Amino acid sequence: MKLQGVTVLGATGSIGKSTLDVIARHPDRYRVVALTAHRQIEALAAQCIQFSPDYAVVADEQGAEQLQKLLLHSAPETTVLYGVAGLEQVAAAPEVDQVMAAIVGAAGLKPTLAAVRAGKRILLANKEALVMTGALFMEEVERYGAELLPIDSEHNAIFQCMPDAAALGAVPAGVEKILLTGSGGPFRDTALDQLKSVTPEQAVAHPNWSMGRKISVDSATMMNKGLEFIEACWLFGATPEQVQVVLHPQSVIHSMVQYNDGSVMAQMGNPDMRTPIAYAMAWPERIHSGVSHLDLFEVAQLNFQRPDFGRYPCLHLAIEAMRTGGSASTIVNAANEVAVDAFLNRQMGYLDIARVIEYTLNKMSVERVSTVDQVLAVDQQARQIAQQEIQS
């Protein structure tokens, strides 16, 4: 079997680390071609020493010089690149078969699109790329013959519950509804009047998943689920009315698909991202992921409830943005990134996240976007407005 060349965009994050764990378990199937990180230079150096990639990419020239020094004797065969151009190069390199797109936020858009345009298998963990560009992204996937496989546990679960021959981008015949599950985060049962005093430390302490700080805050506000709602509509060609968010505190059922004959197909498993990563990397085969099997006797019970938009206004804003269409989703995503960053840096309170997003939406006119440059221009304008509101 020919080794599959893999680029991991965002190698030092939680998804990147889990991807490398799966790769390490299958040296007869996969070879690391490139690893990228933003500013975690020492962590990236350690990964390069272990996996000997052809390339390593960091944010800027200063970081590249630092990384080169660290690799001078331990991994001299690794070529160090930097910046967006470096990311795009390793995403589209001819020796690469699969690209794990795990850079958090809008920063992941350009390298992910570079991989799409090179016709790679895209393991999509960067939901913002699809949230920002929607139809443009899906059109590019079709135009360049790329293979798109979702990594988010929920979308991966939906994909597994669809008919075997189902293609992304269109709801298969017989499917009535997508049931998108979410834990509800750490404040699911917190009194509403206590949310105004939530600290960053409390917000990043997710009860079930180990994730980065930004995604953990998004999970607490359920903006993460809102972005996943938008992503699900684009990935599976569903209308907003065909997607329903279901709170499921145990995070054992990762999502479900409801059929017109009364059947509901569910994908279950322990909350560990190595399961969807291994599934997507080897699809249509299945390989060992390192995840322990689910013990149903230990789980004992499964609970479900409707989300309360009064508790989760960010979820409501994202769903309404999808219904509105045009640039609304791009605005919501950009304002959320700025607001979450401000909250993590203690520049504003937890409840201000939704307020800043709504303010930014109201200040901008929603427009139809037909190019990536237009999307990026909307993104930048939304960030500026959100930042000005935070600083006012």
pLDDT digits (tens, 9 = 90+) for 346-391: 999 999 999 999 999 999 999 999 998 999 999 999 999 999 999 9
* Average of per-residue pLDDT values in the chain: 95
The pLDDT > 90 percentage for the chain reads 90
> Amino acid letter at 314?
C
The whole-number average pLDDT for the span 122-139 is 91
Q: What is the pLDDT of residue 209?
A: 61
Instruction: Enter the CATH code of domain 325-392.
Output: 1.10.1740.10
Confidence band for 392, pLDDT divided at 50, 70 and 90: confident
Euclidean distance between CA atoms 265 and 255, whole angstroms: 9
Taking the alpha carbons of 207, 105, 101, 65 in that order, is the dihedral positive or negative? negative
Phi/psi-derived region of residue 10, left when phi > 0, alpha when psi is between -120 and 50, beta in every other case: left
Euclidean distance between CA atoms 123 and 135, whole angstroms: 18
The whole-number average pLDDT for the span 99-121 is 93
Q: What is the pLDDT of residue 215?
A: 87
Location of each CATH 3.40.50.720 domain in the chain: 4-150
Q: How many CB atoms lie within 10 A of CB 68?
A: 16
Confidence band for 59, pLDDT divided at 50, 70 and 90: very high
Location of each CATH 1.10.1740.10 domain in the chain: 325-392
The whole-number average pLDDT for the span 15-26 is 98
User: Which element (helix H / strand E) includes 258?
Assistant: strand 253-259
Class of the CATH-defined domain 4-150: alpha beta
Q: What is the pLDDT of residue 208?
A: 65
Q: What is the pLDDT of residue 168?
A: 82
Q: What is the pLDDT of residue 210?
A: 64
Q: What is the pLDDT of residue 128?
A: 80
The pLDDT > 70 percentage for the chain reads 98
> Amino acid letter at 89?
Q
Residue 158 has pLDDT above 80, yes or no: yes
What distances in angstroms separate CA 225 from CA 59, 85, 221, 257, one per listed residue? Answer: 28, 31, 9, 16
Which structure tokens are listed for 49?
């020493």
Residue 107 has pLDDT above 90, yes or no: no
pTM of the model: 0.92
Euclidean distance between CA atoms 134 and 330, whole angstroms: 9
Phi, psi dihedrals of residue 329, rounded to the nearest 5°: -65, -35
